[in-house]
Amino acid sequence: MKTSYINWLVEKDNFQVITLTLDKPDTSTNVLSQKVLTELQSILDDVKKISATALIIQSDKDNNFIAGADVKEFSNFQHSNHEELQSEHNDNGYAMALKAIQLGQHVMNSIENLPFPTFALINGHCLGGGMELALACDYRIALDNSKTRLGLPEVKLGIHPGFGGTVRSNRLLGVFKSMTLMLSGRTLSIHTARRLGLIDEIISKNIIKQHFSKLVKHWLDDRKSTANDKLKQFNKQHKRAFYFNLFELDFIKPAIAYILQRSVSKRVQKTHYPAPFEIINLWQLHAGNDDFMMKKEAESVASLITSDSAQNLIRVFHLQDQLKTLSHSSKNKPLHHIHIVGGGVMGGDIAIECVYRGFTVTVHDRSHEVLARLIQRGHYFFSNKLKEKHLYQSAMDRLIPDIKNNGLKKADLIIEAIIEDTKAKQSVFKNAEILAKPDCIFATNTSSIPLDEISHVLLHPERLVGIHFFNPVSKMPLVEVVSSKLTSNTARQFAMQFAGQIGKLPLPVTSTPGFLVNRVLTPYLLEAIELYSEGIPAAFIDKAATNFGMPMGPIELADKVGLDICLSVAKNLSQSQSVRVPEKLSHWVEQGRLGIKTQKGFYDYKNGKPIHQKIHYQGLTLKQISNRLMFRLFNEAVACLDEHVVENEDHLDAGIIFGTGFAPFLGGPMHYIKHKGIEEMDHTLIDLSKDYGHRFDPVIGWNSLIYK
């Protein structure tokens, strides 16, 4: 028996096993939209009326079970004042959100209450609402697929699980494991999820049918027992350890909640990211009373999702999708062989990342020692990331040291990652143009040198594109794809396609000094150094920035990037922009104080961590300091938009968020400027310029924004 719906296919076999297959049309990703959930509830209502031995829920998408709720629908819940919502629940946005969440809860409850065993067959991403659906099933089986990720990452959108996930994850895993999953928002591989207890089995794809036949027979072979009896027996193996119940005693819960809150407070501030604190509060007040906790869970998510913080984080999610789309728009043939010139820290990190993503990579460097260190780093990285021996060995085989530079002749893409010296870079590409394949693309990882200065020695400058990575390569999601007026559209598209192939977000920028990220970030960092030169303690400057919402203070960031790199970028920008290189920065670089890599910078370091001393400072307030820092950044952002360094405001916001870590909960610098009021921001800059000089003079782009 088969019945087709818009999003679901319902099948029933000769053993009375019902299989529900989700295949949302016109998309490669399954999400739980309101229509998908409504349709599923209708199916479940019908299923309850017929005779069945088991229910299987699966996906027909490649590498995608269910990626969560439909985030596009979240934007429909209008912004509201979060504090007002606490007392005024008739708000339209809140009411819409609550209704949508309650529908999801009702569907999950219907799955959980079916009178026969239910199975989630997971292949590919099982996240958010998809994970909550799997938790509502009695048994979770994952196909052996290295691309599968599981988790409850809602906190990254400023909310928390709302379809019963806070209740069921705690019921299954206990408070500490479930809280670790929800508070971090991180996703897990199938093997980690199996060890945690989130899934029950991992099986090979070619034995699915046989495996389910055995499972159903195991649970329902005794016809004398009722399905409900069998279900009780089935659920015994999911019963958590008895001592988990002790954690929910009223006199113990406050202590556990305090430990959890203290841990979260080290990473985020409650005023910026309230969702993790709401999860802890929900557990502390209501754990042990599942029905009431579920009710409060829905109300909590409805309040959070209509707040500015969550709506801005949802905006960031959409910005991320915009950049991902750029990497998929190319029709070019896929790249296979990457050749990297320069095996140092940056070149080596790029090589390792490319190999990890499946490329064959040759790395040229003149030094045998440099290449030997690269192979050691590759061994360390792959042995930690790739637990299966054959995957580790395959990766090491694809990381090829190339002292003679033979890879130039075979590569589809050549990436230069040497020192920031124009002549040295020109030499690399002059040689490449002689030896490389005619259709090979040339890319430079320069952080600030305009492409025209590098490419004017080439016969075919249209082959050169910038692919600017950020440090550390494995953790930073953004790459700037830099085009000059001579860069061909083919080269530009290849670069964006390549970025997508290695899991990065490509940001198209024009070839101006510093491009976007470094140009906007540098005045912010230089103002921090100026404040430090005025006698303000480094830790106080960093605290002002983190109070604003930045994930890391500018002083610590400068040390992390490297003061030599900061100096190089500042010098390049000073040739074309009104940027003054601080004497303190030059002096410390001359002394060899380069930041974390030398264990001495603005801070002294021990084991890679800054040594903080007690602060005794009376002078500028934290607000005054953050204004000086942030308005340098805002002013430069407006200049970049006005000069068309990026195509639009969305791209600028995405670039600064994913390239600098700019407070995601504020939605990006341009979004923040409009939220605060363009004229008010412009007037603040004028006041700052009166107090601190011309570096705060509003750029001409403010007029364009005001009169737009």
Active site annotation includes 534: no
Closest to 501 in 3D by CA, of 467, 464, 461, 462: 467
Query: 13, 20 in Cβ contact below 8 A?
Result: no
Query: 668, 653 in Cβ contact below 8 A?
Result: yes
Give bridge partners of residue 468 from the DSSP assignment: 480
* Cα 469 to Cα 477: distance, rounded to the nearest angstrom: 9
Strands 8-12 and 413-416: unpaired
Query: 552, 661 in Cβ contact below 8 A?
Result: yes
- For residue 116, give the 3-state DSSP assignment: coil
**Integer angstrom CA distances of residue 40 from 33, 45, 689:** 11, 9, 60
Q: Concatenate the DSSP letters of all residues of 471-487 into one string.
A: SSTTT--EEEEEE-TT-
Q: Which residue of the set 154, 278, 297, 636 is catalytic? A: 154
Active site annotation includes 649: no
Alpha carbon 592 to chain centroid distance?
34
DSSP 155: G
Non-local CB neighbours of 16 within 8 Å, separated by 6+ positions: 51, 52, 53, 54
Q: Which residues of 645-660 are buried (b: 16+ CB within 10 A; e: fewer)?
A: bbeebbbbbbbbbbbb
- For residue 217, give the 3-state DSSP assignment: helix
Q: Which residue of the set 39, 73, 132, 416 is catalytic? A: 132
What is the four-CA torsion angle of 376, 379, 380, 383, rounded to 10 degrees? -170
Residues with a known catalytic role: 132, 154
